[in-house]
Amino acid sequence: MPGGRAAYMPRMTASGPVPGLPFVKMHGAGNDFVIIDSRQGPARMRPALVRAIGDRHRGVGFDQLAELRAGEGGADLLLDFWNSDGSRAGACGNATRCVADRVMRERSADALTIRTARGVLRAERRGGQVWVNMGPPLLNWSDVPLAGPADTLSLPIAGAPAAVGMGNPHCVFFTPDAEAVALTERGPKIEHHPLFPQATNVEFVSLLAPDRLRMRVWERGAGVTLACGSGACAVAVAAVRRLITGRQVDIVADGGLLQVDWRDDGVWLTGPVATVFEGVLGADFLDGAA
């Protein structure tokens, strides 16, 4: 990627161009994102810049960053995901919903196909809500992936969690009281457990009702987040496999309510979406992050 100010398209205002990089801040149930639109040019993100934007004191702050790129291979657009520590994220359900909401409004459309590292995902607007099909869950140990053969329904880890791949790995613990879990202590230890060669997202879950679960999340590369879309999908899949719930389930996260429907064609996710603000990253900030 070219460095310096010339690498960024200026934002046009009534008084002329404003040098810098436009962005949008969005969230889905408190799971917050910076959205960068690179559909008119090359991909711009790199680890150092992602970390700078993700700094909640000196940058904007986010759980994940999503960069839009022009569609190819039959998809309407491409999405790349980054964690706040500068690492890549293979999937991000809530960010996908946020982007889908924005692009569908832009196009006056009710459906969209989005290519991600997970594959081509379909998003639909139904009854005012944006649903995204996160694809079939990955349940074989090598697909999650795990470091070696193991029963993904009951891992050889204290607490016997389940493992689910949703384009990124998840480790799901069922516990009588998710509120009582010391998330900041247990989360990072499980994230880097040797059974997960690519590290893992970690969810602690308790049953509230036959179709309602409480979820708390430690995300790989981001830490504690208020919600996690792919995590909600993984939790629902693990709950069905454990015969705890049916395939349609409400997931109560710290930041709000997510709904999951595990169908024959994949795991569908919906929940709240909000645009917080739009802005421009200044040229001096971009130069400092180069």
In a domain, 140, yes or no: no
Query: Average pLDDT for residues 209-215, to the nearest whole number?
Result: 97
In a domain, 20, yes or no: yes
Domain for residue 78, yes or no?
A: yes
Q: How far apart are alpha carbons 181 and 26 in whole angstroms? A: 28
Task: With respect to residue 16, please indicate whether it lies within any of the assigned structural domains.
Answer: yes
Tokens of residue 284, six digits: 């001096």
Q: Does the annotation mark 92 as catalytic?
A: yes
- Given the residues 92, 98, 171, 233, the one annotated as active site: 92
If asked whether residues 167 and 241 sit together in one domain, one would say yes
| Higher pLDDT among residues 290 and 33, named by residue | 33
- Helical H runs in the chain? 47-54, 93-107, 183-191, 229-241, 283-288
The domain spanning residue 61 has which CATH number? 3.10.310.10
Pair of tokens at residue 135 = 């694809």
Q: Does a structural domain hold residue 157? A: no
Q: What is the pLDDT of residues 143-176, one digit of tens each?
A: 999 999 999 999 999 999 999 999 999 999 999 9
Q: How many CB atoms lie within 10 A of CB 30?
A: 16
SS3 86: coil
Which sign, positive or negative, has the C-alpha torsion 92, 93, 95, 100?
Answer: positive
150 within domain boundaries: no
Q: pLDDT tens-digit profile of 214-268?
A: 999 999 999 999 999 999 999 999 999 999 999 999 999 999 999 999 999 999 9
Within a domain: 247: yes
Given a cut of 60, is residue 94 above it in pLDDT? yes
Q: Domain total for the chain?
A: 2
Residues 283 and 229 in one domain: no
Mean pLDDT of 30-38: 96
pTM over 0.85: yes
The residue range of the domain holding 182 is 162-270
- What is the pLDDT at residue 49? 96
Per cent of the chain over pLDDT 90 is 86
228 is annotated as an active-site residue: yes
Integer CA distances (angstroms), 241 to 162, 172, 182, in order: 9, 12, 26
Mean predicted confidence (pLDDT) in 168-188: 97
Considering the domain architecture, whether residues 129 and 9 belong to the same structural domain is answered as: yes
Catalytic residue among 98, 171, 228, 233: 228
Asked, for residue 155, whether it belongs to a domain, the answer is no
